[in-house]
A and B are shown apart, each in its own frame.
Chain A
Amino acid sequence: MKIEVRGLDAYFRSTHALRSVSLGVPANTVLAIIGPSGCGKSTFVRCINRMHELVPGARQTGQIFVDGKDLHARGVDPVDLRRRVGMVFQRPNPFPTMSIYDNVVAGLRLNGIGGDHAELVEKSLRQAALWDEVKDRLHTSALSLSGGQQQRLCIARALAIGPEVMLMDEPASALDPIATAKIEELIRELRQQLTIVIVTHNMQQAARVSDHTAFFYMGELIEHGETEQIFTNPREPRTEDYVTGKFG
């Protein structure tokens, strides 16, 4: 297992956002997280790169292992962890004071890798299906991009540091069908090299890109299994209701 979660509980002050969640993600697979709004999907992925604990008043108990190593073991530096476990946030958050180019290389510069990154920038932007739209204005402000373009820029920025695990929180929520298809293609392609956890509200998307699917409801992991099984033959009635669109 690349990622192993055991008995994870997460809180925001008095809100109990995740209740004893346990699941594993094998290396080079894609896990889709589905569930109604507010069920704890974002909280779950934010625990995996230790972003959750940065929220004032947030707490968590239980264990998460990446490559068999407990994230909260002594000597695990969250800064190192986040370089290996990349993240695309639910809302696009490019650096507004930087150009498109500088956004993509921001992570590399942090890691002290200087020099000319033109090739890597092109590769990352191509992977994120943004290259053709921005190749002539790489040095203009990232804020000059549309919302969907900004989201793809954030994907490129996360890819550029070459993570082992990629957490994607609704990466296609602001994208048109063509860009969405490209991102889904990217996810299938990336699976060769890395392990992906993707949050999505789009059932078809989950079915298309993931190997496993986890259904969350009110902070609980209701069902987790092969994607095919979850969508065709769910064990839990609540899962069935959700994937068939009866609620949520």
Chain B
Amino acid sequence: MGEVAARHAEPSGGRSSRTNLPDRAWAVSLTVFGAAVLVVAGVIVGALWFVAAPAVKTLGLWNFVGSRQWDVTRDLYGALPFIYGTLVTSAVALIIALPVSVGLAVFLTEMAPARLRVVVSFPISLLAGIPSVVYGLWGLFVLVPLLRKPIEPWLARTHFPLFSGAPIGLGYLAAGVILAIMILPTITTISIEVLRTVPGSLREAALALGATRWEAIRIAVLPYSRAGIVGATILGLGRALGETMAVTMVIGNSPTISASLFAPGYSLPAVIANEFAEASGSLQTGALAALGLILFAVTLLLNVIARLLVRVSQKGPARVAA
């Protein structure tokens, strides 16, 4: 429909937008669709709010958000362990996945022969389609035992406070690693596409100044792709924050807060999925709905922060275009 409108619009070359009906129709319908998306988001938030508000009121907003106690039998509902678990596992996932993905994308686009890029990037993009429950099973049967036996005891020897306590395998670290593996294909695949848009003339400019291959990547290729790679990271982060199944299978599902990554924890989506069906009473249902709102807010907030980071650090094409 857009093409039709554009084709109509061009030859007529209407200077005044009033007479250009297809263009106007197109603009109006886009605006309507855009508004519809916002309305749907608003309705979701509104519905959650409707369920959550009485519970939050009873519990007290700060008491709810700031408390680390979640005990259904004693009617104690604190959101902090889940917020903490979601943030920590997503952070672990990003710390692992971002350098690996970007490194892989750079290697495949800048260094590897074209044939290798095809051979490697196709299976990577397939990984993105594996259902998360399969990742969870793999985590339970392969990753968790591996963490329990050689990896966690070995990390513990660094005496780093993040790596302390009993190496039980299930916990923040396991969830973070699973999430890293799940978001790696997303970030890698998009980063490859982004890197492929870098004009060859920029690489040549750097090389002709006496840059090595790596220096050309550093001064010409990566700065040009930064906004796109951040976008890829936001998408990956979004998936990590909202991932439910794989996380709940390996995080240990314990509503506690621990400094050590070895310890079991819980996450926002995991607790909602696990407890909602058997929620007893409107207070618990309301508290779970409120957790959903918090997840929504956290996701939104991190998106905004990431976008602001790009905006602030951006000197390149995006800013000129804006």
A residues near B, CB below 8 A?
49, 51, 54, 56, 79-80, 82-83, 86-87, 89, 91, 93-99, 106-107, 109-111, 141, 143-144, 154, 157-158, 161
Complex Cα–Cα for A79 and B207 (A): 7
Enumerate chain B residues within 8 angstroms of A98, measured Cβ to Cβ: 223, 315
- Decide: B317 and A83 in contact? CB cutoff 8 A: no
A152 to chain B, nearest CB (A): 15
Distance of A110 Cα from B223 Cα, bound (Å): 15
A143: which of B212, B215, B223, B320 is its contact (CB, 8 Å)? B320
Chain B interface extent, by class: 20 to 34
B209 touches A157 (CB 8 A): yes
Q: How far is the CB of A231 from chain B (nearest CB, A)?
A: 30
A106 touches B209 (CB 8 A): yes
Say yes or no: A96 contacts B317, CB within 8 Å. Answer: yes
CB of B167 to closest CB in A, whole Å: 45
Shortest C-beta distance, B162 to chain A (Å), equals 35
A72 to B181, CA, bound (A): 44
Judge whether A49 and B316 touch: CB under 8 Å.
Answer: no
The reply to whether the CB of B202 lies closer than 8 angstroms to some CB of chain A is: yes
What is the CA–CA distance of A154 and B205 in the complex, to the nearest angstrom? 9
Q: List 20 A-B contacts (CB under 8 A).
A: A49-B208, A51-B204, A54-B207, A79-B212, A82-B210, A89-B201, A91-B201, A93-B205, A95-B219, A95-B220, A95-B223, A96-B202, A96-B224, A98-B315, A106-B219, A107-B210, A109-B219, A141-B319, A143-B320, A158-B208
Provide the residues of chain B in CB contact with A49, threshold 8 Å.
Answer: 208
Q: Pick the 4 closest A-B CB pairs, nearest first.
A: A97-B316, A83-B210, A97-B223, A107-B209
Complex contacts, B199 vs chain A, CB 8 Å: 93
State the main secondary structure of chain B at its contact with A: helix
* Contact flag A161-B209 (CB < 8 Å), given A89-B201, A98-B315, A141-B316: yes
Extra A-B contacts (4), CB below 8 Å, given A82-B209, A107-B209, A110-B211: A95-B220, A96-B224, A96-B317, A109-B219
Q: Are B204's CB and A141's CB within 8 A?
A: no
* B277 on interface, CB distance cutoff 8 Å: no
B40: Cβ under 8 A from any A Cβ: no
B41 partner residues in chain A, CB cutoff 8 A: none
Please tell me if the beta carbons of B210 and A80 are within 8 angstroms of each other in the complex. yes
Check if A79 sits within 8 Å of B202, measured CB to CB: no
B234 CB, min distance to chain A CBs, angstroms? 20
A46 to chain B, nearest CB (A): 9
Within 8 A of A (CB), among B217-238: 219-220, 223-224, 226
Instruction: Give the distance in Å from the alpha carbon of A91 to the alpha carbon of B199 in the complex.
Output: 12
Shortest C-beta distance, B320 to chain A (Å), equals: 5
User: When A97-B224, A97-B316, A110-B215 are in contact, do A79 and B208 touch as well, CB less than 8 Å?
Assistant: no
Task: Provide the residues of chain B in CB contact with A51, threshold 8 Å.
Answer: 204, 207-208
- Contact of A79 with B201 at beta-carbon distance under 8 Å, contacts A110-B219, A141-B319, A144-B320 already known: no
Q: How far is the CA of A99 from the CA of B316 in the complex (A)?
A: 9
Alpha-carbon separation in the docked complex, A219 to B192 (Å): 36
Instruction: Say whether B1 faces chain A, with CB atoms less than 8 Å apart.
Output: no
Q: Which A residue's beta carbon lies closest to that of B226?
A: A97
Contact of B210 among A54, A93, A141, A161 (CB under 8 A): A161
CA A212 to CA B265, docked complex, whole Å: 77
Q: Is the beta-carbon distance between A97 and B317 smaller than 8 angstroms? A: yes
Alpha-carbon distance between A140 and B102 when the two chains are bound, in angstroms? 28
Flag whether B114 is at the interface (Cβ < 8 A): yes
